[in-house]
Structure 1
Amino acid sequence: MVADPVTELLTRIVSGLVMIAIALAAAVIGGTWFAVLVAAAATMMYYEWSRIVRGWGFHWMVAGFGYVLIPALALLWIRERGAHKLEMLLWVFIVTWSTDIGAYFAGRTIGGPKLAPSISPNKTWAGLIGGMIAAGALGAAWILYFDLSHLWLYLAPLFAVGAQMGDLFESGLKRRAGIKDSGSILPGHGGVLDRLDGLVVVATLTVMVQLSGWL
């Protein structure tokens, strides 16, 4: 049975809004609530990773542990220890989410040449550029509103590329494993790993920049 595109899109939007609301609430509250959310997400990501790489060797299990632990620690550091704690955490969310949304709608609307057909046949160059534009515009608006370092204005579209490369990396893992989604816990989105593969990159890069002394 083929899913109705309108119903599929509505399911994706509603579940996406619910996830955003939960993430924003935990981020604003911070402390234990945010730490619990991050820990739960990391645990689910590692569970899905372990299912994908089952039988590939122990080193893949170790790599997966680092894959989920580093961005989890990065998110906690941004919220509790970094400069402009909440504002920068929300910037990370904005860049990641706007990349996903911009890429999705630009890819669906414009189409065109495929970005990496052997890895993810649905991703296009239009989607990549759409994600960069969305992340650059919304990320810039946030930075300007809170008068944060203008370096982030230039990094937002670059981090959008990183987010989409994270998406392609996870797509490559799934293609090798012969599966479509990392899980089915999130209606319209697949698994937790499917939804957070871009955040893994953006959060990690943000901490690297903050610790680099460039600001």
Structure 2
Amino acid sequence: MSSEVSSSKWADLAPRVLSAIAMAAIAIAAIWIGGTAYVALIVVVIGLCMWEFARLLQPTPTALPIVMGLAAAGGTFLSSFGSINAPGVIMSPQIAALFIAPVMGAVLANQHRLLFFAYGLLIMLAGLGFLSMGPGPALVWFILIIIISDVAGYFAGRVIGGKKFWPRVSPKKTWSGTIAGWIGALVLGVIGMVLGYFNVFEALLFPFIAFAGQMGDIAQSAIKRMVGVKDSSNLIPGHGGVLDRFDAMIGAAGALVLLTGVGSLIFAG
């Protein structure tokens, strides 16, 4: 009996590892090709994430998820012509385009209007973050933070166990796994600092990025629990939807864009 429990405890290890490898492979290919191919990849991913998110909140047959997905893809494409570090970017048409899909959801949805806007905007900010980071080394380090945090949290949660982080929303997440994710991200930041890629302040930001990723995962879990579904869609056989695979990255990338945007305003002033 104990061997059966032990094996079931690690039953999801293979798909999680394969998913991490697949995401890494896609990122490496996109960075290697660069240019239009990379932008197209981000546009498609953000469009699909927005479509899945809208379907979760508006499950009845309606064109709203499709329209929001297309608006998100279009807004992400327009934002690729700007930079979040450019002077006056907060008032630029590129940034304004990011609000189209979230506002559309807030206005046209039958329910959860505030959530439509808030999480929809987070998805759009994440798209801007992906475009601003890549293709380049910054995106590679960002993905490594998410992967290291997830892997460290996975093993610590199952080996150490202990008190649950937020049992009502995410029953499997433990405090030991959550903290292990922060430690893993910090170790990665220190390695990057030793190699000369980051200064001390930048290395110390790694755990905060990992935490934002964890919150992105929990936020999406909370949304799925609220509407009573297991996966955001079935686009990826055996693994759910695109949003299920990118929820942590969306939380971390969105938070990174907000930090960068606020920082640019402070230093510009």
TM-score (norm 2): 0.69
Q: How far has the Cα of 1:170 moved from its partner?
A: 0.9
For 1:191 and 1:110, locate their aligned partners in 2 and report how far apart those are by CA, in whole Å: 30
Give the secondary-structure state (helix, strand or coil) at the position aligned to 1:115.
Answer: strand
Label 1:35 to 1:146 Cα distance change in 2 as closer, same or farther (>3 A).
farther
- C-alpha contact (below 8 Å) 2:216/2:252 kept by paired residues: no
Q: How far has the Cα of 1:119 moved from its partner?
A: 0.9
Q: Does 1:163 align with 2:208?
A: no
Aligned to 1:180: 230
Q: Which amino acid aligns with 1:162?
A: A
For 2:193 and 2:212, locate their aligned partners in 1 and report how far apart those are by CA, in whole Å: 19
For 2:122 and 2:229, locate their aligned partners in 1 and report how far apart those are by CA, in whole Å: 20
- C-alpha contact (below 8 Å) 2:153/2:179 kept by paired residues: yes
Matches within 5 A, 1:40-79: 40-54=44-58, 56-79=111-134
Q: Does 1:106 align with 2:156?
A: yes
Aligned to 2:247: 197
For 1:33 and 1:141, locate their aligned partners in 2 and report how far apart those are by CA, in whole Å: 31
For 2:187 and 2:235, locate their aligned partners in 1 and report how far apart those are by CA, in whole Å: 31
RMSD: 2.4
For 2:185 and 2:236, locate their aligned partners in 1 and report how far apart those are by CA, in whole Å: 23
Greater Cα radius of gyration, structure 1 or 2: 2
Aligned to 1:83: none
TM-score (norm 1): 0.84
- C-alpha contact (below 8 Å) 2:161/2:174 kept by paired residues: yes
Q: Which has the higher contact order (CA 8 A, sep 6+)?
A: 1
Q: Which amino acid aligns with 1:76?
A: L
Q: Percent identity?
A: 34
Q: How far has the Cα of 1:26 moved from its partner?
A: 0.6
Q: Which amino acid aligns with 2:55?
A: R
Matches within 5 A, 1:17-166: 17-54=21-58, 56-79=111-134, 86-166=136-216
Q: Which amino acid aligns with 1:127?
A: G
For 1:108 and 1:182, locate their aligned partners in 2 and report how far apart those are by CA, in whole Å: 25
- C-alpha contact (below 8 Å) 2:149/2:180 kept by paired residues: yes
For 1:74 and 1:16, locate their aligned partners in 2 and report how far apart those are by CA, in whole Å: 20
Give the secondary-structure state (helix, strand or coil) at the position aligned to 2:173.
Answer: strand
Give the secondary-structure state (helix, strand or coil) at the position aligned to 1:163.
Answer: helix
Point out where structure 1 has 5 or more consecutive residues left out of the alignment.
81-85
Please identify, of 106-115 and 195-204, the stretch whose mean Cα deviation from structure 2 is larger.
Answer: 195-204
Point out where structure 2 has 5 or more consecutive residues left out of the alignment.
1-6, 59-109
Give the secondary-structure state (helix, strand or coil) at the position aligned to 2:172.
Answer: strand
For 1:28 and 1:145, locate their aligned partners in 2 and report how far apart those are by CA, in whole Å: 22
Q: How far has the Cα of 1:105 moved from its partner?
A: 1.6
For 2:193 and 2:256, locate their aligned partners in 1 and report how far apart those are by CA, in whole Å: 14
Give the secondary-structure state (helix, strand or coil) at the position aligned to 2:124.
Answer: helix
Q: Which amino acid aligns with 2:35?
A: G
Q: How far has the Cα of 1:60 moved from its partner?
A: 4.1
